[in-house]
Amino acid sequence: MDKKVAIVTGGNSGLGYATAKKFCDNGIKTYVIGRTKERTVNACSEIGDNAMPLIFDLTNLDEIPGMIQDIFDKEGQIDILVNNAGINMKKEFIEVTDAEFENILHTNLFSVFAISREVVKKMKETGGGSIVNISSMAAQYGMPKVVAYSASKTAIEGMTRAMAVDLAQFNIRTNCIAPGFIKTKMTAKALDSDPPRKEKVFSRTPMGKMGLPEDIADAVFFMCSKEAKFVTGTVLPVDGGNSIGF
């Protein structure tokens, strides 16, 4: 029972991969959720024995309770949930359709609520746990062409505080990490194809560089550790100062 059990959604790439690796390297058995079988299985074999691939589309809200029950039946505990899976869409405001807006909210918000609710039921049974949500700079200031993404990430921060208040009585802490601009394949491509945006990012980041996925993993790990045992309801920017830069 000493070995902790974690779930990292979207753990097959980018920030989620670094987080799953950090957990596994520190002896935490980690369920890595992704939709793509090959990517998820490969990521887990790279990470090592503590990583358990789980192929699941989080937009299937009705299937989330069964998926969480299966993990609980196997492990008898779920100590950590990292709600990292997310999708983005860059588009002019007036061209975003209702369906596109809903699609982003579905993955980035509704599924986060549904999986958190189910995991909380189990954490309550076993005496507590830690939940970390992943937001964005798009929730700290107005960013062009990402209206649905901004709405979803801003909601995540509000939900983090609401969850912290509701769940403290069950010894469940809920925090949020707001990553700045982090070097992943996706961001490199997005910024390289938009030089003015890239210039803007660097000009308002006091530390003058992008972060690494491991920087986010370290912050998530801290939030789940006993060193953060009196921390709940916070939003921690891990951003080289981007959110407070001029």
Other Cβ atoms closer than 10 A to 228: 18
Q: Does 115 bind ligand NDP (CB under 6 A)?
A: no
Restricting to residues 148-207, which ones interact with ligand NDP according to CB under 6 A?
179, 181-182, 184, 186-187
Torsion sign over Cα 212, 56, 189, 145: negative
Query: Starting at the edge strand that comes first in sequence, how are the strands of the sheet with 5-9 ordered?
Result: 51-55, 29-34, 5-9, 80-83, 129-134, 172-179, 235-238
Q: Which of 17, 31, 141, 149 is catalytic?
A: 149
Q: What is the dihedral of CA 19, 20, 21, 27, to 10 degrees?
A: 110
Nearer to ligand NDP among residue 125 and residue 203 (C-beta): 203
Tokens at 173, concatenated: 């802490």
Report the nearest approach of ligand NDP to the CB of residue 232 (Å).
20
Residue 141 bears catalytic tag: no
5, 31 Cβ separation under 8 angstroms: yes
What is the per-residue binding string for ligand NDP in 51-80, x denoting contact by CB under 6 A? ------xxx---------------------
Nearest approach in angstroms of CB 139 to ligand NDP is 9
CB of residue 60 to ligand NDP, shortest distance in Å: 8
* C-alpha closest to that of 12 among 67, 53, 73: 53
> In this structure, are residues 14 and 184 in contact, taking their beta carbons and an 8 Å threshold?
yes
Size of site (CB under 6 A) for ligand NDP:
30
Q: Which is nearer to ligand NDP, 165 or 186 (CB)?
A: 186
What residues act catalytically?
Answer: 149
Which residues of the shown chain bind ligand NDP in the complex (CB under 6 A)?
Answer: 9-10, 12-16, 33-36, 39-40, 57-59, 84-88, 107, 134, 136, 179, 181-182, 184, 186-187
